[in-house]
Amino acid sequence: MKSLRAIPSVDSLLNLPVMAALQEEYGHEWCLQAVRQVLDEVRSQAKSADNLPTEEEIVSRVRSLLISQSTPTLQPVINATGVVLHTNLGRAPLCQSALREVSRIGEAYSTLEYDLNKGQRSKRDVHAADLLIRLTGAEAALVVNNNAGAVMLALAALANRKKVAISRSQLVEIGGGFRIPEVMRLSGAKLVEIGTTNRTHIEDYETAIQEGASLVMLAHQSNFKIVGFTTSPSLTEITELAHKHDLPVLHDLGSGALIDPATFGLETELTVQDALLQGVDIVCFSGDKLLGGPQAGIIVGTAKLIDKIRRHAFYRALRADKLCLAALSATLLEYLKGSAVESIPVLGMLARKAPELKAQVEKWQNELAAGQVIQGESMIGGGSLPGQSLPTWLFAFKPKSAKQFSNRLRQLDIPIITRIEDDRVLLDPRTILPYQEAVLLSSLRAALSEEKNEKRP
Ligand SMILES: *Cc1c(COP(=O)(O)O)cnc(C)c1O
């Protein structure tokens, strides 16, 4: 057995010429830690193994360790799942103008809370507010970190220690632990459940109001659907009743469509504008679901209530940052200019039609000389439009092991995320961003040829 003394010292390794470049790139301290870690591993492994690694092998391990430690864990991926608002894959990709704004505002000082005319302090909420007001017809608007925060803040500001009436059919749990009853409790509001899971009548709201409810809340059933023997009053019935008793109505719209999804062949959906037209006083919705912008919680409604919400201490804790406001403003501008469907990736994906998708997959099949072109469904995802899908065409490939093949695609420099069905790996062109297609095809070509070579004994 070799003596452990043959293992080089920390200093002798750090003084090697090859280490100079690594220290230049990662700094002395980080290199020192990496060298120590690798040497510790070598020592503990050497106790049982006879062959110690060479100096070169140790340096190469140090280099690999530094590379893996410095690679951001947040990486862009190619979403070939066909789930348009994939929560785990970051929901909405940003439009080009939003990206430009993030870079323009992020690299310099900005007028985040500064009034150039007066030369003094101003409020950050002005930035996206005017655009939101113009788009939705609301009197006022406020932007916070995300929609969970928006709902929490609105309830805390408007209904702390007060009773809030909500239908049992709307006590939803959204992914990631957002449960309406819990958010209500945390906000200090007192939940008053009305109606039943499948049926809620206007009389149920009336009774709750007579029993002291001071706010009526509605929540979008984002990720489920109740079908069969169901009923619920119309939104205008509810808002008229609430207003007759001087109570505000708060609607957590969830995905917050500004364009009715019916435009894309999906079921019609209450838009933010329509909710306000039908008398809702406060509407909360996400910035990165159907709106297709950055993560944000948007609150629009009457000036009086928005002002009350803005003055609540939680607003300071939940407010949006400058990069979010920059990206959101740019995204909203696309709507105002009428260029949303062309410019905003999520909307463009929803708008794509089956024949065009089929042609794209046929092109892949041709270029790769592999796979099949089959019919399928793209999901909307992200807790929006439950159970709804859009017809699509898929590239289907049956490898030796679908699991191993899809795993290989996930380990690429630009990972490709796929679906597996019936031992086939499926790729949906709907969610591939145009600039990713060339990389997708060259990666697939390489993976397919590797698969072919492995098949030969
Ligand atoms: C998605 C959703 C939320 C949470 O929104 P985030 O932006 O993810 O915080 C809250 N309520 C409803 C109804 C939703 O669909």
**pLDDT of 2 strictly over 60:** no
Residue 371 Cα to ligand 1 midpoint, Å, equals: 38
Q: How far apart are CA 435 and CA 96, in angstroms?
A: 12
Q: Whose CA is nearest to atom 2 of ligand 1?
A: 254
Atom of ligand 1 nearest to the CA of 383: 15
* Tens-place pLDDT, residues 133-188: 999 999 999 999 999 999 999 999 999 999 999 999 998 887 777 888 888 999 99
| Nearest-atom index, ligand 1, CA of 295 | 7
Centre of ligand 1 to C-alpha 395, Å, is 32
The residue contributing the CA closest to ligand 1 atom 13 is 254
CATH of 78-85+347-455, one of 3.20.20.70, 3.40.1780.10, 1.10.1050.10, 3.90.1150.110: 3.90.1150.110
Nearest to 285 by CA among 326, 256, 321, 244: 256
Looking at this protein, which amino acid is placed at residue 227? V
- pLDDT tens for 222-254 read 767 788 778 889 999 999 999 999 999 999 999
Q: Which H helix or E strand runs over 97?
A: helix 96-106
DSSP characters for 178-236?
EEHHHHHHHHTPEEEEES-SSB--HHHHHHHHHTTEEEEEEE--TT----SS-B---HH
| Average pLDDT estimate for 270-280 | 98
Angle 96-106/322-336 helices, nearest 10 degrees? Answer: 150
Q: Is the CB of 170 under 6 A from ligand 1?
A: no
CA distance 223 to 387: 8
Q: How far is the CA of 178 from the CAs of 181, 183, 184, 386, 426, in angstroms?
A: 9, 7, 10, 16, 31
pLDDT at 94 over 90: yes
Whose CA is closest to 390, among 403, 379, 404? Answer: 379
pLDDT in tens, 363-378: 999 999 999 999 999 9
pTM summary value: 0.93
Q: What is the mean pLDDT of residues 405-411?
A: 96
- Report the C-alpha gap between 322 and 309 in whole angstroms: 20
Tell whether ligand 1 has an atom less than 6 A from the beta carbon of residue 383. yes
Mean pLDDT for all residues in the chain? 93
pLDDT at 328 over 60: yes
Q: Which residue's CA lies nearest to atom 14 of ligand 1?
A: 254
Q: Is 324 in the pocket of ligand 1 (CB under 6 A)?
A: no
Classify residue 229 as left (phi > 0), alpha (psi -120 to 50) or beta: beta
How far out from the chain centre does Cα 191 lie?
28
Chain centroid to CA 279: how far?
29
Rounded to the nearest angstrom, the distance between the alpha carbon of 295 and the centre of ligand 1 is: 11
DSSP string, 331-384: HHHHHHTT-HHHH-HHHHHHH--HHHHHHHHHHHHHHHT--EEEEEEEE--TTS
Which atom of ligand 1 is nearest the CA belonging to 172?
Answer: 13
Percentage, residues of the chain above pLDDT 70: 97
CATH for the stretch 94-343: 3.40.640.10
Q: DSSP letter at 247?
A: -
Q: What is the mean pLDDT of residues 61-65?
A: 96
Across 363-439, where does the E strand assignment appear?
372-379, 389-397, 416-417, 419-421, 424-427
